[in-house]
């Protein structure tokens, strides 16, 4: 950590600051400049709070040099982590995983039908929302437990592991029992209570990026889960909020090489929520594969016009199959299978 | 709601769309243009989901004309709502309320000391964090129940009602029993489970704006709470995320006239979190008063350099008193007291 | 264009608004709702200014249904436009073009050396900055005319057409004479005087997207150039400003399918400025090809550590060659050559 | 400047970096950490380019400690600069200046009428656009020279100095001759050619903040003008682009204390463009005064519904007068006159 102090800071104040850090076991080097003095701290600074340091009125700025995350940090864990989701392996050089399914679960029959179509097209996992985060209290909020059980039924028939969003600590037992991959949604990326609770679960976690969060904040949310004991975290980019109006969000594919550089964890891409428009899903899926994503999560619905939510961004099963088929040779170019 | 369809949409598809809306009790007018056709829907469209409508492949765009909120909407509730927080009235033409206190509660003694200073300076409510949303799992997470009880003690001695942040449904009973004004933090503004739970509480709610949320989304979160039965919601602006680096966030004071135009609820301003720097708190507080805010919530700490969190943005009691004293004549100019 | 008026707008005011539009040759349909009235306008509304319409105090909101651009609009020009840059064809189903070169031109010798390397690696055009937009007045501002002539020399030797940024109307004659593809930089995307001037040039234009501009604003800037008479515009995405700190900007690849849907013009991608880091250039280049880009513009420098600007984002010639070689089979998957 | 290098950087590479900086006359201190090495540079680093330093593959991050601006920096110029605009003094403890006028000049008669109304209401300068930056090439582009001459006429009659936007180097002679305060618009804030040209003018400059620019970038644009020799720069905040849809832009009033802390130059506020809605202009004007602004620039039009541009955000003269009258006692509270 680098701390600069203001012009004219008295010698005794500089000494007081130095003593304070040394008392915390850090070693301090002072660089005296013309208009500023700068301290460099060496040691474990992850527990230091920048804002507390900055509260000293003689301090001008505080810069963290070392990343604030440890368990997720590739610096301390060189090999890729491969996460096992009910037998499906995600990450490293494993096969690129494709997850398909409806935005909202709409009943047993339709869920089974979609699951079969996802499997037939080459998908290897089923997604579906039973608890839905909706901006309006008057909108459909999901089928709840019934929806989870519909997915369980579809898993029994197709063998596809299931992924669904957990919105509340209240439902942790239900998800621990039934769901294979527990999704934390974008709006809950910094719901720290929920992250702590999920950190105690045994099931792997799919951590979506918040709408306006930096990659560092996202990794820190993974760190929350890992610090709780659950190291099976998969990142999921689903677009960030920008000024653009022609898409629902802006898909940030540069997260793929960055997450792989900074952490050892896998990353998958959700082109459906990112663009909000089925017409852009194929090109963004192929781009994600070319950029090195470990997987895709795509909304699939046989009759998007009558889907209960987000039909505009859902692919029909035929188009979903096409995406997978076009993606295969691209995966091979970069040394992966799909 | 206004729906435009693509050039070349067949007559039968147009007819199908019309019949669909009419079946939901809406009346439909069709405007035929050169390159587009446009439908206007009349009736209660709050339950229609734009994204479902947009899923129709012939639909080009969907625009909501009426606001999606009802209970918070001034259109249906012309008079200002005045919220009673343990006897302190907030909103309408009531006295502007000033809430002061530490970012984190740090023990009984210091909480009582700060509460006395806040009261002596002219503050009328005590803030303090017992459950802290922290980006890092390694940072101090708050004193929890102990912190709440420290505040209760300070209330017993000073008579100041207390406000604190609720982060989890688990703690609802504790807050219902002890806390006078229940704060929902920025990161939980769209934690819909928590909003629903708070909608069943009897205590008034201070709803902070999310870091990157629009005013409409913010009002919709208030609507969640109100739809649950708790109509005592106070908005709190605390700065939004922008590209600016010289401040922690960017304080958006234009929310004051907008919230007052669109809703009947009160709004207070948090200049401490918005700017992240005590040096800017006074000018932003005076600006908020001039713009018509119903209150201020300001971080106060007798020794900011040794505060457990956010010292850089805390005022010492003397400066807090100065803000209130300078604010009084400004309040009078716009017909309010402070 | 759709116009909603406020509850309680008197009948005579509604009539006045209708007459006003009819006087401009537009046909008007009125939809009477419960809380709002809505007008639909049919006819050529591109010349109507939303803000003037919204100035009427009875008007509540104004929504444009038809796109505000005409010459760039695919609706009125179904086939892809293929732009000819000194014999190199860009767009449609033509070969994907790869442009390489230094951020700043650094002298004749080094420019020729880089041009040869770009050509040997498979690049088909040379980029180089002679006039540099720099945030600081104290930073190197480019070699100016001398830099342009260095590029001309490199073209003579290698045959590669040259692209360079024009920052001022003063230099239009120079660019018309020497440069094959005239770049308008991100910071000048809405320098409307410059756009008008370039609209009268005979050379094709590479229009970079502004740092915080929407796609619609970007297309409108192309429309400025086209309205002036120069219809040879190529879009160039170079990343937008977001909250992310691990990259210089955020590359938005979803612009590729969108520009191709909304307009008939080609689009190329600049992964160097977008990411600001050579380590991410390969993956973003392959992703751009997979997403359907018509070209790439990549910074290449034999000795990035000693480049006069932006070395951190420049590829050495060997890595540039690798990007092209890996890109080729991906291009074939989507039916293109590279 | 602080530079951190990667774990495992060889000793000889560290030495090479140190020698490189020392050769530039900088003194270098090396701090060896566990996972990183950090260098501190002391000396004049304003000419160092962060991106060139970062191009070294062993360098991990580069942080500037000292501000990159000198002439605008309060550190080197402690007293407030007071700018003289044709006899009107702006800044320091001078009277708060209020500038009023139409968005676009619409002819001699109406300009004189508005100028008289502005003066009668207590305004001390006249604004008016003759060259208009419009997103659409099909929208009204301003009256040009004729509009400037209309304003000159209004100045002759009322004595009010005039301010107008300069969009092109071509018009510098015209502005030098006729205009008292030369405005650089938001979209040209980083049109560096224009900034350089204006730096050679003798007239003071009103520098609007770009739509998505940081305060540091804004100060750097002032530095461009000052480095050219023209030190009479006044900042003008006009709102920044955010995700908010209820306002045209988001007014950032925290710039007032920040500009006054970091620089010695005056700052005025434009609540009309910031909010885009006349209803919010009064509250934002009063807030700006309370926050310490040196002036306001407000759109005034006698018949906003028929204004040629931006009528929705224009005040009628009566309301303009009210703003000034309410603002006076607020100015007094903070020790200023209006």
What ipTM is given for this predicted complex?
Answer: 0.93
Instruction: Give chain D's largest Cα–Cα span.
Output: 76
Order of strands, edge to edge, in the sheet holding D27-32? D27-32, D37-42, D2-5, D59-63
Q: Which of C42, C38, C37 is nearest to C1 (CA)?
A: C42
Check residue D337 and give its pLDDT.
Answer: 96
Percent of chain A at pLDDT above 70?
A: 99
Check residue C35 and give its pLDDT.
Answer: 67
Chain mean pLDDT for chain C: 93
User: Scanning every residue of chain B, which has its alpha carbon at the shortest distance from the alpha carbon of D239?
Assistant: B252
For B171, residues 6+ apart whose C-beta sits below 8 A from its C-beta are B131
CB A68, CB A218: distance < 8 Å: no
User: Scanning every residue of chain D, which has its alpha carbon at the shortest distance from the alpha carbon of A3?
Assistant: D65
Check residue C66 and give its pLDDT.
Answer: 79
Distance of residue C242 Cα from the nearest chain D Cα, in angstroms: 10
Q: Which of B288, B290, B326 sits opposite D289 (nearest CB)?
A: B290
For A106, residues 6+ apart whose C-beta sits below 8 A from its C-beta are A143, A307, A308
Q: 């079969």: which residue's tokens?
A: A116
**Stronger pLDDT, D45 or A88, i.e. the higher one:** A88
Radius of gyration of chain A (CA): 23
Does C243 sit within 8 Å of B65, measured CB to CB?
no
- Degrees, nearest 5: CA angle B207-B209-B215: 110
Q: How much of chain D is in helix, strand and coil states, percent to nearest 5?
A: 40, 20, 40
Check residue A34 and give its pLDDT.
Answer: 66
Distance of residue C334 Cα from the nearest chain D Cα, in angstroms: 34
Does B244 sit within 8 Å of D242, measured CB to CB?
no
Q: Six-digit token pair at D248?
A: 């045209």
Which chain A residues are Cβ-neighbours of D216 within 8 angstroms? Answer: none
Check residue D164 and give its pLDDT.
Answer: 98
Residue B146: other Cβ atoms inside 10 A = 12
* Sign of the dihedral through C-alpha D159, D195, C190, C192: positive
Percent of chain C at pLDDT above 70?
A: 99
Q: How would you classify residue B221: left for phi > 0, otherwise alpha for psi between -120 and 50, otherwise beta?
A: alpha
CB C238, CB D237: distance < 8 Å: no
Q: Which of D29, D43, D66 sits opposite A29 (nearest CB)?
A: D29
For C256, residues 6+ apart whose C-beta sits below 8 A from its C-beta are A283, C237, C267, C269, C288, C291, C292, C293
Check residue A46 and give its pLDDT.
Answer: 75
Does B38 sit within 8 Å of C65, measured CB to CB?
yes
Distance CA A103, CA A142 (A): 10
**Stronger pLDDT, C78 or B19, i.e. the higher one:** C78
**pTM, whole model, 2 decimals?**
0.94
Does C32 sit within 8 Å of B43, measured CB to CB?
no
Does D167 sit within 8 Å of C47, measured CB to CB?
no
Which chain C residues are Cβ-neighbours of D1 within 8 angstroms? Answer: none
Q: What is the 3-state secondary structure (H, E, C) of A207-248?
A: EECCCCCCHHHHHHHHHHHHHCCCCCEEEEECCECCCCCCCC
Give the Å distances, CA to CA, from A290 to A285, A336, C13, C282, C327: 9, 10, 58, 10, 9
CB pairs B-C closer than 8 Å: 58
Which chain C residues are Cβ-neighbours of D21 within 8 angstroms? Answer: none
Interface of D with A (CB under 8 A): 2, 4, 7, 29, 31-36, 38, 40, 42-43, 60-61, 63, 65-66, 75, 241, 243
Chunked in runs of 10, what are the mean pLDDT values of chain B (338 residues)?
A: 82 85 84 74 78 81 84 94 98 98 95 98 97 92 96 98 96 98 97 97 98 97 97 98 96 98 98 95 98 98 81 91 97 95
Does A66 sit within 8 Å of D2, measured CB to CB?
no
Does A254 sit within 8 Å of C284, measured CB to CB?
yes
Distance of residue A146 Cα from the nearest chain B Cα, in angstroms: 18
Name the DSSP letter for residue D314: P
Q: Where are the alpha helices (DSSP H) in chain C?
A: 11-23, 50-54, 108-121, 145-158, 172-178, 192-198, 215-227, 255-262, 271-275, 281-290, 317-333
A4 — pLDDT class (breaks 50, 70, 90)? confident
* pLDDT of D31 over the 80 cut: no
Q: Where are the alpha helices (DSSP H) in D135-280?
A: 145-158, 172-178, 192-198, 215-227, 255-262, 271-275
D34 — pLDDT class (breaks 50, 70, 90)? low
- Domains of chain B as residue ranges with CATH: 2-63 (3.30.70.1140), 74-333 (3.20.20.70)
Q: Which of D57, D191, D224 sits opposite C191 (nearest CB)?
A: D191
Radius of gyration of chain C (CA): 23
Does C275 sit within 8 Å of A291, measured CB to CB?
no
| Residue of D55, D59, D210, D241 to mutate when probing chain C, most C C-beta within 10 A | D55
Among B261-265, C66-70, C205-209, which is the least confidently predicted range? C66-70
Encode pLDDT of D3-27 as tens digits: 888 878 888 888 888 888 888 888 8
Q: Which residues pair with D28 in a beta bridge?
A: D41
Check residue A35 and give its pLDDT.
Answer: 67
Distance CA C107, CA C128 (A): 11
Tell me the HSE value of B288 on the side-chain side, using a 13 A CA sphere.
33
Check residue B51 and give its pLDDT.
Answer: 75
Which chain D residues are Cβ-neighbours of A31 within 8 angstroms? Answer: 29, 31, 40, 42
For A54, residues 6+ apart whose C-beta sits below 8 A from its C-beta are A61, A62, B311, B312
Q: Which of B244, B280, B290 sits opposite D257 (nearest CB)?
A: B280
User: Scanning every residue of chain B, which has its alpha carbon at the shortest distance from the alpha carbon of A131?
Assistant: B193
Check residue B35 and give its pLDDT.
Answer: 67
Encode pLDDT of A152-172 as tens digits: 999 999 999 999 999 999 999
Q: Six-digit token pair at B159?
A: 């008579």
Pairing of strands D181-184, D162-165: parallel
- Degrees, nearest 5: CA angle D173-D179-D182: 85
Q: Which of B49, B133, B168 sits opposite A169 (nearest CB)?
A: B168
Distance CA B32, CA B29 (A): 10
* pLDDT of A326 over the 70 cut: yes
Q: Which of A29, A36, A40 sits opposite D66 (nearest CB)?
A: A36
Distance CA C53, CA D23 (A): 63
| Residue of B189, B235, B254 to mutate when probing chain D, most D C-beta within 10 A | B254
Distance CA A101, CA A117 (A): 9
Chain mean pLDDT for chain D: 93
Distance of residue A249 Cα from the nearest chain C Cα, in angstroms: 10
Distance CA B40, CA B54 (A): 14
Encode pLDDT of D132-179 as tens digits: 999 999 988 999 999 999 999 999 999 999 999 999 999 999 999 999
Which chain B residues are Cβ-neighbours of D245 within 8 angstroms? Answer: 214-216
Percent of chain C at pLDDT above 90?
A: 75
**Stronger pLDDT, A71 or B61, i.e. the higher one:** A71
Buried residues in B250-261 as b, exposed as e (16+ CB within 10 A): bbbbbbbbbbbe
CB A112, CB A154: distance < 8 Å: yes
């Amino acid at each position: 950590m680098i701390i600069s102090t203001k012009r004219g800071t008295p010698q005794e104040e500089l000494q007081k600051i130095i003593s304070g850090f040394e008392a915390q076991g850090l070693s301090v080097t002072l660089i005296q400049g013309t208009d500023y003095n700068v301290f460099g701290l060496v040691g474990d600074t992850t527990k230091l709070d920048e804002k507390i340091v900055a509260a000293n009125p003689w301090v001008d700025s505080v810069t963290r040099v070392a990343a604030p995350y440890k368990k997720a940090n590739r610096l301390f864990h060189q090999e890729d982590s491969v996460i096992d989701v009910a037998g499906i392996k995600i990450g490293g050089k494993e096969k690129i995983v494709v997850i398909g399914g409806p935005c909202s679960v709409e009943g047993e029959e339709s869920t089974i039908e979609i699951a079969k179509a996802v499997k037939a097209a080459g998908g290897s996992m089923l997604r579906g929302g039973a608890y839905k985060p909706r901006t309006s209290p008057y909108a459909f909020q999901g089928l709840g437990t019934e929806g989870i059980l519909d997915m369980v039924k579809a898993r029994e028939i197709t063998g596809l592991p299931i992924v669904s969003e957990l919105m509340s600590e209240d439902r942790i037992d239900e998800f621990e029992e039934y769901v294979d991959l527990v999704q934390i949604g974008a709006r809950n990326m910094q719901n720290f209570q929920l992250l702590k609770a999920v950190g105690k679960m045994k099931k792997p976690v799919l951590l979506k990026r918040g709408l306006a969060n930096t990659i560092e904040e996202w990794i820190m949310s993974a760190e929350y889960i890992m610090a709780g004991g659950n190291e099976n975290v998969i990142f999921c980019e689903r677009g960030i909020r920008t000024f653009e109006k022609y898409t629902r969000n802006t898909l940030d594919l540069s997260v793929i090489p960055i997450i792989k550089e900074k952490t050892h964890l896998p990353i998958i891409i959700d082109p459906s929520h990112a663009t909000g428009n089925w017409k852009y899903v194929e090109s963004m899926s192929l781009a994600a594969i070319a950029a090195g994503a470990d997987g895709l999560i795509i909304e699939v619905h046989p009759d998007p016009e009558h889907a209960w939510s987000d039909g505009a961004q859902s692919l029909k099963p035929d188009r979903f199959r096409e995406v997978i088929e076009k993606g295969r040779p691209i995966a091979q170019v970069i040394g992966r299978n799909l």
